[in-house]
């Protein structure tokens, strides 16, 4: 796991790689999603390892659906979901009595609670205004970026008092790897020009990282991209490289 040293002033930011957990096979080692195929005991151990490494009390997760809904987390939310500190990725399985909220972004002012976004090629975008004590996190894949998830999370952070927002874009599939059908590429290129890219093998692709940077710049957010391409790095999970792969996580938290 990589804890970004640039995140400070009371805020932590981290992006996991595939090492440091106990899952096996194509999920090895630190799978943080894929609750449908991994062993429950492995998932519990992996989340415990993540909490130990970050030093947080709990990790807030959402049921990600490639949309733009932002979940605001306050102390009441934590209580209502019988305490996020006790939740694990196992809760991703929809439970009629207490379903994990469906959302693709979160905003919080709660100390000691990490917001976690799980990915394997999509972009995990972590955001913070350390001075104001407001953090946000977004799952920004193709659909999320096109339907405004970043705009939505930034707007919600500002409603909660954020002014100078910083963003960290975690590991994701790059523009040289993210091949899409030509018709889709041409439609997205027309509406979102920053996405225009070509794969290293010469076919139409989308540069989602460039699009995220362009959107964040337009929103007045200072952003950095931190990591290598998921598809090209054996240290990271990639759905495109291996559809059976596990899930990485990006995390942001306010230190206690």
Could you tell me which residues are beta bridge partners of residue 169? 125, 225
Which residues, including other chains, have CB under 8 Å from residue 73's CB and lie 6 or more apart? 60, 84, 106, 107, 108, 110, 113, 115
**Cα within 13 Å of Cα(120), Cβ side:** 22
Which residues, including other chains, have CB under 8 Å from residue 78's CB and lie 6 or more apart? 58, 84, 85, 110, 113
By CB under 5 A, is residue 174 in contact with Zn ion? yes
When binding is defined by CB under 5 A, the residue of 39, 151, 232, 235 that contacts Zn ion is 232
By CB under 5 A, is residue 235 in contact with Zn ion? no
**Pseudo-torsion of CA 126, 98, 18, 8, nearest 10°?**
30
Smallest distance, Å, CB 86 to Zn ion?
37
Q: First-to-last CA distance in the chain?
A: 20
Smallest distance, Å, CB 166 to Zn ion?
25
Q: Which backbone phi and psi does 85 adopt, to 5 degrees?
A: -55, -25
If the CB atoms of residues 236 and 251 are measured against Zn ion, the closer one turns out to be: 236
Contact 40, 55 (CB under 8 A): no
User: Mask: binding to Zn ion, 64-103, rule CB under 5 A, as x and -?
Assistant: ----------------------------------------
If the CB atoms of residues 50 and 174 are measured against Zn ion, the closer one turns out to be: 174
When binding is defined by CB under 5 A, the residue of 56, 110, 229, 252 that contacts Zn ion is 229
If the CB atoms of residues 73 and 174 are measured against Zn ion, the closer one turns out to be: 174
By CB under 5 A, is residue 177 in contact with Zn ion? yes
**Pseudo-torsion of CA 221, 101, 45, 55, nearest 10°?**
40
If the CB atoms of residues 70 and 206 are measured against Zn ion, the closer one turns out to be: 206
Smallest distance, Å, CB 12 to Zn ion?
27
Stretch that binds Zn ion, among 52-60, 94-102, 167-175, 242-250 (CB under 5 A): 167-175
If the CB atoms of residues 151 and 232 are measured against Zn ion, the closer one turns out to be: 232
Angle between helix axes 208-218 and 149-159 (nearest 10 degrees) is: 30
Stretch that binds Zn ion, among 95-103, 164-172, 174-182, 206-214 (CB under 5 A): 174-182
If the CB atoms of residues 91 and 232 are measured against Zn ion, the closer one turns out to be: 232
Give the interface with Zn ion as residue ranges (CB under 5 A). Answer: 174, 176-177, 229, 231-232
């Amino acid at each position: 796991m990589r804890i970004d040293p640039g995140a400070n002033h009371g805020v932590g930011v981290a992006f996991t790689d595939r090492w440091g957990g106990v899952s096996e096979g194509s999920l090895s080692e630190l799978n943080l999603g894929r609750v449908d195929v991994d062993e429950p005991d492995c998932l519990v151990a992996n989340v415990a390892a993540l909490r130990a490494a970050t030093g947080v009390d709990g990790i807030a997760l959402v049921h990600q659906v490639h949309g733009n809904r932002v979940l605001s987390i306050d102390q009441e939310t934590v209580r209502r979901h019988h305490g996020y500190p006790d939740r694990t990725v196992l809760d991703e399985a929809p439970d009629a009595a207490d379903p994990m909220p469906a959302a693709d972004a979160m905003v919080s002012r709660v100390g000691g609670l990490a917001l976690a976004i799980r990915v394997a090629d999509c972009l995990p975008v972590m955001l913070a205004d350390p001075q104001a004590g407001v953090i946000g996190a977004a799952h920004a894949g193709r659909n999320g970026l096109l339907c405004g998830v970043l705009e939505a999370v930034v707007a919600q952070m500002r409603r909660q008092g954020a002014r100078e927002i910083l963003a960290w874009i975690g590991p994701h599939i790059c523009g040289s790897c993210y091949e899409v059908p030509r018709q889709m590429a041409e439609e997205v290129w027309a509406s979102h020009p920053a996405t225009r890219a070509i794969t290293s093998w010469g076919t139409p692709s989308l540069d989602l990282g460039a699009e995220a940077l362009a959107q964040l710049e337009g929103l007045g957010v200072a952003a950095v991209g931190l990591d290598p391409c998921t598809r090209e790095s054996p240290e990271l999970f990639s759905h495109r490289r291996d559809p059976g792969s596990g899930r990485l996580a990006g995390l942001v938290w306010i230190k206690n």
